[in-house]
């Protein structure tokens, strides 16, 4: 079952010599040879020459159907004509003016019209920046200093929140009282005292922990991780209710999950957070972040009358190229497009179930809209601890074998971030390739 890593690595090296050359060159001037830490490193990163629709083309001329879509950001696939046209039009006007443009109200109106919890919006440059501002806003609004977040959730490279994002299980403490595990050396030690870790899907424990810290917690950051974790919508509603009861703010992280529906995860789960943070999809492939919420929360950032004591800005926040790409993307995301994404998502999920059952490999498949994940485990994947039971070593081999057959997957054990140019034919081709991979031996 599935070729060995050694044989897969040697075929990959033989097929991608130009990527290897670039990596060797990069090692002279960049740590690890790469410009950021998030690239596939085993045995070397895959360097892309160009991309179009649902296809990626590497430096050696190999083609891949792209199931990763720039860390989930490109929901319309690569170089969607409306998005490219909007960027071109904006380029002709100029780059980076240092003054507002008419695009600002257009994209804000688009987001407000889609998401019932949002009355006002601000833009930043990344999900990280958005989580940073949201952390300050909920502290300022409540006068409390602690923030609660879920074990295994990532809200960006923000010291206030980058704890217990992927803790080793022997350091993670008991499920009733998860330990605070900083994700990196060098983070502020003070941040460890200001964070409270919650287990996903466990109402009783969440209830106990939040009540224990009820006068200290400003708010809860929550990414429902649709299509990634089996977190029920009831759990989301419970969280909305308890945070309201305890005077805490609920911040929903839609940086990835906004791709699951017109109003994102909160629209599917039927909850209205106090603040929502965005990234990825709302920039149409350009660098982006955004923060939205009720007028009461967002007006804390309105310093036009008297100073509120809290502000939000950023040299490139809401730059005209990002806004143009984001607006064109949101306008192209019609109900029909979401229906198509859900339909291919379901087809893929059913096929994955079948392929792994046929191969006799225990597997849990999760799907919501355009997000699909397959975990090699016989446990329901509803929190970080069950997520960690997935057989990642085998999945790594499967993913590499699929890459060699022309399929580029995301980085989680087996993650698919679908895009609208994908069709049933692409999904069926992928499933055929998966069955071959599962049957292959060296
Ligand atoms: C759920 C979630 N929140 C926040 C972030 C941070 O976004 P950015 O990489 O734009 O800073 C990410 C990034 O992957 C994410 O997945």
Dist CA 434 CA 401 (whole Å) = 9
Q: Which residue, by CA, sits nearest to atom 13 of ligand 1?
A: 156
Report CA(284)–ligand 1 centroid distance (Å). 15
pLDDT for the residue numbered 38: 75
> Which residues fall within 8 angstroms of residue 153, CB to CB, at 6 or more apart?
165, 200, 221, 222, 223, 225, 253
Q: Which residue, by CA, sits nearest to atom 3 of ligand 1?
A: 155
Residue whose pair of structure tokens reads 């804000």 in the numeric block: 108
pLDDT in tens for each of the 442 residues of the chain? 899 999 999 999 999 999 999 999 999 999 999 999 877 667 999 999 999 999 999 999 999 999 999 999 999 999 999 999 999 999 999 999 999 999 999 999 999 999 999 999 999 999 999 999 999 999 999 999 999 999 999 999 999 999 999 999 999 999 999 999 999 999 999 999 999 999 999 999 999 999 999 999 999 999 999 999 999 999 999 999 999 999 999 999 999 999 999 999 999 999 999 999 999 999 999 999 999 999 999 999 999 999 999 999 999 999 999 999 999 999 999 999 999 999 999 999 999 999 999 999 999 999 999 999 999 999 999 999 999 999 999 999 999 999 999 999 987 789 999 999 999 999 999 999 999 999 998 8
Question: Could you write out the DSSP letters of every residue in 194-206?
Answer: TEEEE-TT-HHHH
pLDDT for the residue numbered 412: 76
Dist CA 49 CA 57 (whole Å) = 6
Report CA(379)–ligand 1 centroid distance (Å). 27
Dist CA 259 CA 256 (whole Å) = 6
DSSP state of 341: H
Dist CA 351 CA 346 (whole Å) = 8
Work out which ligand 1 atom sits closest to the CA atom of 225. Answer: 1
Strand partners, 55: 52, 65
- pTM of the entire structure? 0.98
Report CA(243)–ligand 1 centroid distance (Å). 23
Domain extents in the chain:
5-75+334-439, 81-332
Question: Could you write out the DSSP letters of every residue in 73-111?
Answer: T-TT-BS-HHHHHHHHHHHHH-S--SS--THHHHHHHHH
CB hemisphere CA count around 227 (13 angstroms): 30
Ligand 1 binding pocket mutation candidate from 35, 131, 135, 155 (most atoms within 8 A of CB)? 155
pLDDT for the residue numbered 39: 76
DSSP state of 154: -
pLDDT for the residue numbered 41: 67
Fold designation for 81-332: 3.40.640
Residues with CB under 6 A from ligand 1: 71, 126-128, 154-156, 223, 253, 255-256, 279, 289
Report CA(155)–ligand 1 centroid distance (Å). 5
Task: Given CATH 3.90.1150.10, say whether it is the number of domain 5-75+334-439.
Answer: yes
Work out which ligand 1 atom sits closest to the CA atom of 156. Answer: 6
Report CA(429)–ligand 1 centroid distance (Å). 30
What are the tens digits of pLDDT across the range 338-374? 999 999 999 999 999 999 999 999 999 999 999 999 9
Report CA(359)–ligand 1 centroid distance (Å). 34
Ligand 1 binding pocket mutation candidate from 36, 39, 280 (most atoms within 8 A of CB)? 280
Report CA(141)–ligand 1 centroid distance (Å). 24
pLDDT for the residue numbered 135: 98
Dist CA 333 CA 327 (whole Å) = 10
Dist CA 56 CA 66 (whole Å) = 6
| DSSP collapsed to 3 states, 110-166 | HHHHHCCCCCEEEEECCHHHHHHHHHHHHHHHHCCCEEEEECCCCCCCCCCCCECCC
Q: How far is CA 344 from CA 39, 130, 305, in A?
A: 26, 31, 50
Q: How does strand 177-178 pair with strand 120-124? A: unpaired
Dist CA 214 CA 74 (whole Å) = 39
Structure-block tokens of residue 70: 């720039």
Ligand 1 binding pocket mutation candidate from 128, 183, 265, 282 (most atoms within 8 A of CB)? 128
Report CA(265)–ligand 1 centroid distance (Å). 15
Report CA(15)–ligand 1 centroid distance (Å). 32
What are the tens digits of pLDDT across the range 401-425? 999 999 999 877 899 999 999 999 9
Dist CA 20 CA 329 (whole Å) = 34
Structure-block tokens of residue 383: 């929190």
Question: Could you write out the DSSP letters of every residue in 280-316?
Answer: GGGGTTSS-EEEEE-HHHHGGG--SSS--S-----TT
């Amino acid at each position: 079952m599935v070729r060995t890593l050694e044989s897969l690595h040697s075929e990959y090296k033989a097929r991608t010599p130009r990527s290897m050359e670039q990596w060797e060159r990069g090692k002279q001037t960049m740590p690890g040879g790469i410009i950021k830490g998030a690239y596939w490193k085993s045995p070397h990163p895959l360097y892309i020459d160009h991309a179009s629709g649902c296809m990626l083309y590497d430096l050696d001329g190999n083609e891949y159907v792209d199931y990763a879509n720039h860390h989930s950001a490109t929901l319309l696939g690569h170089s969607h004509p409306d998005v490219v046209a909007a960027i071109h039009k904006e380029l002709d006007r100029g780059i980076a003016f240092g003054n507002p443009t008419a695009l600002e109200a257009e994209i804000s109106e688009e987001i407000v019209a889609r998401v019932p919890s949002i009355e006002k919006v601000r833009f930043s440059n990344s999900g990280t920046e958005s989580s940073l501002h949201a952390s300050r806003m909920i502290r300022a609004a409540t006068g409390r200093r602690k923030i609660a977040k879920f074990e295994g959730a990532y809200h960006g490279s923000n010291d206030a929140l980058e704890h217990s994002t992927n803790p080793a299980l022997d350091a993670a403490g008991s499920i009733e009282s998860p330990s605070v595990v900083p994700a990196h050396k060098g983070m502020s030690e003070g941040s460890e005292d200001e964070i409270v870790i919650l287990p996903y899907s466990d109402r009783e424990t969440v209830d106990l922990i939040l009540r224990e810290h009820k006068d200290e917690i400003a708010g809860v950051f929550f990414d429902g991780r649709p299509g990634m974790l089996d977190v029920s919508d009831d759990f989301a509603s419970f969280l909305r209710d308890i945070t309201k009861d305890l005077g805490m703010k609920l911040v929903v992280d839609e940086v990835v999950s906004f791709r699951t529906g017109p109003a994102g995860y909160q629209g599917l789960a039927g909850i209205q957070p106090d603040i929502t943070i965005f990234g990825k999809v709302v920039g149409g492939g350009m660098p982006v972040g955004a923060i939205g919420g009720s007028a009461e929360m967002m007006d804390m950032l309105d310093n036009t009358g008297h100073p509120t004591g809290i502000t939000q800005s950023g040299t490139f926040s809401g730059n005209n190229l990002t806004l143009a790409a984001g607006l064109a993307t949101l306008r192209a995301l019609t109900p029909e497009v979401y229906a198509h994404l859900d339909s291919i998502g379901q087809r893929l999920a059913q096929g994955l179930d079948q392929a792994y059952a046929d191969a006799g490999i225990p597997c849990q498949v999760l799907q919501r809209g355009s997000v699909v994940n397959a975990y090699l485990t016989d446990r329901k994947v509803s929190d970080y601890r069950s997520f960690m039971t997935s057989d990642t070593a085998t999945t790594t081999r499967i993913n590499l074998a699929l890459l060699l057959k022309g399929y580029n997957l995301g980085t989680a054990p087996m993650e698919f971030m679908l895009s609208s140019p994908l069709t049933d034919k692409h999904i069926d081709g992928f499933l055929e390739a998966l069955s071959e991979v599962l049957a292959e031996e060296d």
